Chain A
């Protein structure tokens, strides 16, 4: 089954404790991206990747890192999480930014 898998689905952690949210897709998509979703703000793009080893900043990249060492994986790293990064995070993949985005089921992060 074609899918985008995010882990974990839920995480409560504390300020400053490094965390990684994994994202994996099995559709051989070149393009992958991360979003955060906050009430009233819609989805805001954090980082995107056009292909392996090619990443670029979205609209809200501060406090986040990503890597794209393999085509299928695109982890989101919070080196020193802060409470303002509490949010619902989505990973998506597609053949290109203007192609249909396939979203994961989301990761709800709470930073205390």
Chain B
């Protein structure tokens, strides 16, 4: 059983469409991180959300942390082919602050 459930696992869309990726858990997280990974490389951090209800924007990407700090979402507006990649959420559950858990990931493909 995954501590962090990501959905959908696969997303194939056309350039210009909007999309949302979800990261859900029954546990409360101290914070959640979102990463993007490209083939042949390690994940790269996009954002960290810390406060319940927090919303962070990174150009066309909007990240939200649920009020209860059990879930998070990533919304991409007007997706571009350059957004293609594997998106991962990750967090740690108190008091196990050293143990970092990742979701299964969402493979996003944006077609020109």
Chain A interface residues (CB < 8 Å from chain B): 4, 31, 33, 35, 40-45, 48, 50, 56, 58-59, 90, 92, 96-98, 100-101, 103-106
Contact = CB atoms under 8 A, between A and B. Distances in A.
B99 A42 contact: no
Given A90-B42, A106-B41, A97 B48 contact: no
B100 interface: yes
23 contacts: A31-B98, A40-B104, A42-B2, A43-B88, A43-B105, A44-B102, A45-B99, A45-B101, A45-B102, A48-B98, A56-B98, A58-B100, A92-B42, A96-B97, A98-B31, A98-B33, A98-B97, A100-B45, A101-B35, A101-B90, A104-B42, A105-B40, A105-B42
Given A41-B104, A42-B88, A42-B104, A59 B44 contact: no
A97 B102 contact: no
Nearest to B43: A103
B100 A103 contact: no
Interface string B81-110: 000000010101000011111111100000
Interface of B: 2, 6, 9, 30-31, 33, 35, 40-45, 48, 88, 90, 92, 97-105
A41 B4 CA distance: 11
Contacts of A42: 2, 6, 88, 102-105
